[in-house]
Amino acid sequence: MPLRLFLAIAMLGLLAACSTQQGDETGVVIQHSAAHAGSAQWQADRHCAQFGKKAVLAQKAPKQSDYLVETNASTFDCVN
């Protein structure tokens, strides 16, 4: 396998695991790889646990693509 191809595949793997989040005690929005939706639930659970609450998926935006990675933005409510 050529080095460039290997590096490109490795970068895609790293990007797939990445996500960003913004939220507070009422909920959180997480941008994540469409291929790894479970990571969004895990991060939302961790976020809501800070407030003694559980994360419940409220909305999942349509997939977006930047030609390398398809992403979703999932919105979670933090509930008791």
pLDDT tens for residues 22-47? 899 999 999 888 887 788 899 999 99
Task: Over range 39-60, report the average pLDDT.
Answer: 94
User: How far apart, in whole angstroms, are the C-alpha atoms of residue 43 and residue 25?
Assistant: 14
pLDDT of residue 34: 81
User: How far apart, in whole angstroms, are the C-alpha atoms of residue 39 and residue 18?
Assistant: 9
Q: What is the dihedral of CA 40, 42, 44, 49, to 10 degrees?
A: 180
pLDDT at residue 66 greater than cutoff 80 = no
Verdict on whether the full-model pTM lies above 0.95: no
Which tokens hold the place of 57? Answer: 């998926």
In the chain the beta strands, taken as DSSP E runs, fall at 19-24, 27-33, 54-60, 64-65, 70-79
Average model confidence (pLDDT) across the chain: 82
pLDDT of residue 80: 94
